[in-house]
Structure 1
Amino acid sequence: MTELHFTKGQGTGNDFVLFADPDATVDLTPERIRAIADRRFGVGGDGVIRAVRSESLAEGRALVAEDPAAVWFMDYHNADGSVAEMCGNGVRVFARYLTESGLVDLAPGETLTVGSRKGLVDIQRTTNGFQADLGRWRLGIEGSGADDVLVRAKNLDGARPGVGIDVGNPHVVVAVATEDELADLELTTWRCSTRP
């Protein structure tokens, strides 16, 4: 069994398991990710973020060729083991992890460029945290073949139309009728399906 030294971090309510693997030596299988992210039998988290030197991953080497400042790559995996391009909350937590771990020095007002599967991401340290420039958003969910989706969630009366928005990773925006309806939703058990 491999020993893994990790940190837990959260950004705007999303929590992540973070660890440094500069040379990409840890084998991150989907099964291992699910085990780490499991809230009952693992550490628990919305995802797992590995800090890797960009030069250690094929995706990262291409980004360093584009911008040598992208020394670090955010290797992000969802809790279900799937690979993700980007997470806005996760990249801010990643920047905090890099600075707190002493892997980078970043003073307030300075910008850090990191690699991700979305591409290069610029993160600025502010006086009270970090802000990330995720680039331009676009309507629709890339690869879905549809611009809108139907969303079903526990305690939501029937399926609702949603609008797909991609900010490097897909999101769906759904209108609800009241604040009470929103408060009653169980958002951990939602399902989206694209409409042709």
Structure 2
Amino acid sequence: MSRLPFLKMHGLGNDFVVLDARTTPLDLSLQRRRAIADRRLGVGCDQLIVLEAPTEDDADVFMRIFNPDGGEAGACGNATRCVASVVMDERKTDQVTVQTISGLLESQKTGMGSNGLPVISVDMGLARLDWREIPVREACDTNHMPVGLGPLQDPVGTNMGNPHATFFVDDLAEIPITELGPKLEHDRFFPERANIGVVQPLGEGRLRLRVWERGAGLTLACGSGACAAVVAASRRGLVDRKAEVIVDGGTLTMEWLRDGHVLMTGGIAVAFKGELDASLLA
């Protein structure tokens, strides 16, 4: 495999290497995916994104998502906004539909950010709340799941194309998320592992969020985690169905619509363009 062009993009610091395989398929083994995502030996990213030709007539592009451990993910809200921006620019349109393994995500440009790039809203799909859909090990009320560790207890379960457990705390700064996150991610209560979100309600429709992402670790922003946070907070009566979710990288505007879908709005950025050396693709 020869040199391969890529885009380095991010949504609020949640960063991606974006590869285009729409015309020529890429042979990306587990080892190659890990090498590209490695921050010391490769380009480095929270997720590796591969664009493919869509398989459904209603879609404009298929987005495949890989975590740094090489495993495939079902959803990534910040990556969806980035990919939507790329396709909107190519097609000179303000609306595109992004296909993922979890379903179709409709995206719309709603304005321009201070960096001159689009602000994009994405319908992240239906928030799934049944214990079998998340999934968890045993039948339970997903508004109060019987799992926890130390100060993190009594989470809300949500599936936003991937499984989330959202914990509420009084002081997020006091939570050692890098210590507790990986242990909870791998807790046997979650047969497919889980993204671990920790939320501090701030009042007036604002939530402070950090997420230990399944297969990626602590990131500056997690779009599907922000979706899960607003759904969980609304179920607990802590916010209405709309909230600002403040992550380490910035702020997302989230709304849990009456039809059960979750709308996410935020900006994107292009960091740089480059080519992958053949040694990363060997």
Question: Do both proteins adopt the same fold according to a TM-score greater than 0.5, normalized to the shorter chain?
Answer: yes
Where do 4+ consecutive residues of structure 1 move more than 6 Å? Answer: none
In structure 1, the residue corresponding to 2:73 is in which secondary structure? coil
* Offset, 1:98: 2.5
- Structure 1 equivalent of residue 171 of structure 2: 178
- Asked if 2 retains the 8 angstrom alpha-carbon contact of 1:150 and 1:162, the reply is yes
* Offset, 1:149: 6.5
- Asked if 1 retains the 8 angstrom alpha-carbon contact of 2:49 and 2:63, the reply is yes
Q: Deviations over 1:38-89 (max 9, x none)?
A: 11111111111111111xxxxxx2xx1xxx2313101111111111111111
Q: Mark the runs of 5 or more structure 2 residues left unpaired by the alignment.
A: 113-118, 191-282
Q: 2:105 aligns with which of 101, 106, 121?
A: 121
Structural mapping, 1:1-196, within 5 Å: 1-54=1-54, 61=55, 64=56, 68-100=57-89, 102=90, 104-107=91-94, 111-128=95-112, 129-139=119-129, 140=131, 142-146=134-138, 147=142, 148=145, 150=147, 157=150, 160-182=153-175, 185-186=177-178, 190-192=182-184, 193-195=187-189
In structure 1, the residue corresponding to 2:4 is in which secondary structure? coil
Alignment RMSD, CA only? 2.5
Q: Mark the runs of 5 or more structure 1 residues left unpaired by the alignment.
A: 55-60
* Offset, 1:97: 2.6
- What number of residue pairs does the alignment pair up? 175
User: Closer, same or farther in 2 for the Cα pair 1:195/1:133, shift >3 Å?
Assistant: same
In structure 2, the residue corresponding to 1:97 is in which secondary structure? helix
User: Closer, same or farther in 2 for the Cα pair 1:17/1:177, shift >3 Å?
Assistant: same
Separation (CA, whole Å) in 1 of partners of 2:134 and 2:40: 33
- Asked if 2 retains the 8 angstrom alpha-carbon contact of 1:149 and 1:194, the reply is no
Question: Percent identity at matched positions?
Answer: 31
Separation (CA, whole Å) in 2 of partners of 1:185 and 1:35: 26
* Offset, 1:118: 0.7
- Asked if 1 retains the 8 angstrom alpha-carbon contact of 2:88 and 2:96, the reply is no
* Offset, 1:37: 0.6
* Offset, 1:163: 2.6
Separation (CA, whole Å) in 2 of partners of 1:4 and 1:149: 47
Separation (CA, whole Å) in 2 of partners of 1:187 and 1:113: 38
* Offset, 1:2: 3.4
Instruction: Give the letter aligned to residue 86 of structure 2.
Output: Y
Separation (CA, whole Å) in 2 of partners of 1:73 and 1:38: 24
Separation (CA, whole Å) in 1 of partners of 2:103 and 2:44: 27
User: Closer, same or farther in 2 for the Cα pair 1:145/1:189, shift >3 Å?
Assistant: closer
In structure 2, the residue corresponding to 1:135 is in which secondary structure? strand
Separation (CA, whole Å) in 1 of partners of 2:67 and 2:164: 14
Instruction: Give the letter aligned to residue 105 of structure 1.
Output: K
* Offset, 1:6: 0.6
- Asked if 2 retains the 8 angstrom alpha-carbon contact of 1:49 and 1:76, the reply is yes
